[in-house]
Amino acid sequence: MFVAHGRVNSPHPLMGPRLTNISLTGQTADFAAHDRRLLAARRAGAGDLRFRLLALGAAVTVMLVFAGVIAALLVGALPAFRAFGLSFVTTDAWSPTQETFGALASVYGTLVTSAIAMLIAVPVGIGIAIFLTELCPRPLRRPIAMAIELLAAIPSIIYGIWGLFVFAPWFQAHVQQPIIEATDGIAVIGSLLGGAPYGIGVFTASVILSIMILPFICAVTRDVFETVPHVLKEAAYGLGCTTWEVMWRVALPFARTGVVGGAMLALGRALGETMAVTFVIGNAHNIDVSLFSPGTTISATIANEFTEATGALYSSSLIALGLVLFVITFIVLAGAQLMLRAMERRAGR
């Protein structure tokens, strides 16, 4: 029988002695050691439970934070909704001096900037993902993928300052001016791309947003493209398909759920993006047909006005804006998660 001599040298009291302390001493059972281990077992049981509860507590904290965010926004937004009711989201009059607040201009700006950003970022993001998985020479793959991912790491305030001082002036002189001159007088496009070339405005904000969400779309698309079984692609190539046909007709349909999920994840980011937009959108509470005109988004309005908001109704209206934003992003992000989970399950099978 194995019996430990002297101090039990073990990584844990319950785990028995290290081999160095074991000797074969025949029948003599070490009752003291047995008792010690029983005691240790009891103590370890209590410690084990404590650790488990600690972990559970942390997990519950995550849920409490989430519930707290919703509760705080609801409580804060209550005065505004009580004063304006549903017209808060259906009117666009935003006047701190007259204490009337309607969120429509902000909501419109949020939706339009995000939509344009998606129009640019989705095709480009998928294009980059295809380039990286199918066309890129192997040694270049990792550096290029890393560079694209670094776009996501750059803080949004950096996009903001760069957009304001570098991109907007360039865009104003070299893109906006010629476009406005060229489209002037054309029926729909003329008014869509008309007005004065400010440099900053809804379209500028959309372009900056599209660069910011590009890496999200690219990363998720790349991940789901890797789940496409090689035999599927090889079979298609074997039939004589070109790279384009393999990607468009085989890989993309297979990975559709994941790509849509990734796009929605990016949309969630775009909707809530604050600083970059605040710098370049112009912060004007108006709904203008022209995409070159200044506008505002929910997050930009809050960032600009919250600390200067005087009066309970003004603050409450801004918090109500936050609630509207949270609800919109929640729906989009929840949808994204459901699709990505479905994709994961399929890839796991």
- The nearer residue to other proteins, 194 or 223, going by C-beta atoms, is 223
Q: What is the closest distance, in whole angstroms, from the C-beta atom of residue 191 to other proteins in the complex?
A: 28
User: Do 232 and 179 contact (CB within 8 A), yes or no?
Assistant: no
Residue with tokens 């074997």, as numbered in its chain:
238
- The nearer residue to other proteins, 16 or 190, going by C-beta atoms, is 16
184 secondary structure, DSSP code: T
Q: What is the closest distance, in whole angstroms, from the C-beta atom of residue 194 to other proteins in the complex?
A: 27
- The nearer residue to other proteins, 125 or 295, going by C-beta atoms, is 125
- The nearer residue to other proteins, 70 or 186, going by C-beta atoms, is 70
CA distances for 314 relative to 61, 82, 308, angstroms: 31, 13, 10
Q: What is the closest distance, in whole angstroms, from the C-beta atom of residue 70 to other proteins in the complex?
A: 9
- The nearer residue to other proteins, 166 or 186, going by C-beta atoms, is 166
Q: Rounded CA gap, 314 and 328, in Å?
A: 21
Going by C-alpha positions, the residue among 326, 287, 319, 328 that lies closest to residue 301 is: 319
Q: What is the closest distance, in whole angstroms, from the C-beta atom of residue 184 to other proteins in the complex?
A: 28
Going by C-alpha positions, the residue among 194, 211, 185 that lies closest to residue 273 is: 211
Q: What is the closest distance, in whole angstroms, from the C-beta atom of residue 161 to other proteins in the complex?
A: 5
Name the helix (H) or strand (E) containing 94.
Answer: strand 94-95
- The nearer residue to other proteins, 194 or 294, going by C-beta atoms, is 294
CA distances for 347 relative to 115, 132, 222, 341, angstroms: 30, 20, 14, 10
* Tokens of residue 123, six digits: 């095709």
Residue 342's CB is within 10 A of a number of other CB atoms, namely 13
Taking the CA atoms of the chain, what radius of gyration do you get in angstroms? 29
Provide the total of helices (H) and of strands (E) in the chain, helices listed first: 16, 4
The 3-state DSSP class for residue 289 equals coil
Q: What is the closest distance, in whole angstroms, from the C-beta atom of residue 12 to other proteins in the complex?
A: 5
The residues that bridge with 100 in the sheet, in sequence order, are: 95
- The nearer residue to other proteins, 115 or 158, going by C-beta atoms, is 158
Q: What is the closest distance, in whole angstroms, from the C-beta atom of residue 248 to other proteins in the complex?
A: 8
